[in-house]
Amino acid sequence: MKYFDKKNNRLVFENVKASAEFWDVHWNVADFKNSILSGKNDRFVSKYTKKYIPPNRSKKILEGGCGKGNFVYSLYHQGYDAYGIDYAEETIKKINGSLPDLKISYGDVRNISYPDDFFDGYWSLGVIEHFFEGYDKIIDEASRIIKKDGLFFVTFPNLSPLRKLKAFFSCYPKFNEETFNQELFYQFALDSKSVQQAMEKRGFSLVFRKPFDGTKGLKDEISFLKPLLQKVYGSKNIICRIISYAISMISSFFAGHAILLIFKKND
Q: Is the pLDDT of residue 198 over 90?
A: yes
Is 142 among the domain residues? yes
Digit-coded pLDDT (tens) for 147-173: 999 999 999 999 999 999 999 999 999
Residue 13 CB neighbours (<10 A): 19
Digit-coded pLDDT (tens) for 74-87: 999 999 999 999 99
| Average pLDDT in the chain | 95
Q: Is the pLDDT of residue 24 over 90?
A: yes
Is 23 among the domain residues? yes
Residues 6+ apart with CB under 8 A from 106: 85, 86, 87, 89, 92
Number of compact structural domains in the chain: 1
Average pLDDT over residues 84-110: 95
> What predicted TM-score, i.e. pTM, was given to this entire model?
0.94
Give the range of the structural domain holding residue 32, as residue numbers without chain letter. Answer: 2-159+171-213+258-265
Task: Give the relative orientation of helices 214-221 and 238-255 as an angle to the nearest 10 degrees.
Answer: 80
pLDDT at site 246:
94
Is 240 among the domain residues? no
Is 80 among the domain residues? yes
According to DSSP H, which parts of the chain are helical?
20-26, 32-37, 45-52, 70-77, 89-98, 136-145, 161-168, 192-200, 214-221, 226-232, 238-255
Is 221 among the domain residues? no
Residues 88-107: b if buried by 16+ CB within 10 A, e if exposed? beebbebbeebbeebebebb
Average pLDDT over residues 186-211: 97
Share of the chain above pLDDT 90, in %: 90
Average pLDDT over residues 169-187: 94
> 138's torsion region: left (phi>0), alpha (psi -120 to 50) or beta?
alpha
CA 257 to chain centroid, in Å, comes to: 11
CA 50 to chain centroid, in Å, comes to: 18
Is 164 among the domain residues? no
User: pLDDT band for position 99 (50/70/90)?
Assistant: very high
pLDDT at site 29:
87
Q: Is the pLDDT of residue 97 over 80?
A: yes
Digit-coded pLDDT (tens) for 206-250: 999 999 999 999 999 999 999 989 988 888 889 988 999 999 999
Q: DSSP 3-state assignment of 103? A: strand
Digit-coded pLDDT (tens) for 29-39: 889 999 999 99
The helix, strand and coil proportions of the chain, stated in percent and rounded to the nearest 5, come to 40, 25, 30
Is 190 among the domain residues? yes
pLDDT at site 235:
84
Q: What is the DSSP letter of 190?
A: B
pLDDT at site 30:
86
Is 233 among the domain residues? no
CATH number at residue 48: 3.40.50.150
Residue 8's closest CA among 260, 179, 195?
Answer: 195
CA 113 to chain centroid, in Å, comes to: 21
